[in-house]
């Protein structure tokens, strides 16, 4: 058990106490806030379907592996273990998909190996870029994202390289 499991519950308890002090109608306010989720999810759903179709096809067609094979040497040049190539490719698209790959890596190489530690840091310091961009855009009239995705990808790649370096020395 790490300290981090206490963070969220403790914050919520403090919040409730603070609300009581400020005489907020907690029950009504909570319900009213929760109502907003329905609209949000309805907006997000069509975009989720769209991106899921692409990811699913990409994985079962074996293209993900082929691309990983080609990119392997490039990734290795950058100082990231070749075994992590597929993780690096899936990570920007799918949180559950990349988590499954990380589990595979843990069970193949052991959780305390260099490769697994790199995988952990990469997972911990990156996000599902395409997923975030898709659902955030679902809320807007804007269709053109300009440089948002390339910037996020470059920043993530750079941090992954640093992650592997850090795992070597720490």
C-beta of 31 vs 74, nearer to other proteins: 31
Total binding residues toward other proteins, as defined by CB under 8 A: 97
Closest CA to 98 of 68, 80, 81, 123: 123
Residue indicated by tokens 């993900």:
64
Q: What string marks each residue from 98 to 137 as x (binds other proteins by CB under 8 A) or -? A: -x--xx--xx--xxx---xx--xxxxxxxxxxx-xxxxxx
- To other proteins, the closest distance from the beta carbon of 76 in angstroms equals 19
Q: Which residues between 65 and 94 bind other proteins (CB under 8 A)?
A: none
- To other proteins, the closest distance from the beta carbon of 159 in angstroms equals 3
| Cα end-to-end span (Å), the chain | 22
Please, what is the Cα angle at 21 between 18 and 25, to 5 degrees?
90
Cβ atoms within 10 Å of 166's Cβ, excluding its own: 14
Q: Which residues between 31 and 70 bind other proteins (CB under 8 A)?
A: 31-38, 40-41, 43-45, 48-58, 60-63
């Amino acid at each position: 058990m790490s300290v981090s499991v206490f963070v969220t519950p403790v914050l919520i308890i403090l919040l409730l106490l603070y609300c009581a002090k400020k005489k907020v109608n907690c029950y009504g306010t909570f319900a009213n806030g929760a109502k907003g989720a329905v609209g949000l999810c309805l907006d997000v759903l069509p975009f989720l379907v769209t991106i899921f179709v692409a990811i699913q096809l990409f994985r079962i067609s074996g293209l993900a592996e082929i691309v990983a094979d080609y990119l392997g040497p490039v990734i290795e040049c950058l100082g990231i273990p070749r075994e992590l190539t597929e993780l690096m490719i899936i990570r920007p698209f799918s949180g559950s998909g990349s988590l499954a790959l990380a589990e595979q890596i843990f069970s193949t190489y052991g959780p305390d190996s260099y490769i697994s530690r790199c995988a952990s840091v990469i997972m911990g310091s990156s996000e599902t870029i395409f997923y975030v961009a898709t659902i955030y855009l679902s809320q807007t009239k804007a269709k053109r994202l300009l440089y948002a995705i390339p910037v996020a990808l470059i920043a993530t790649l750079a941090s992954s390289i640093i992650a592997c370096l850090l795992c070597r020395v720490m």
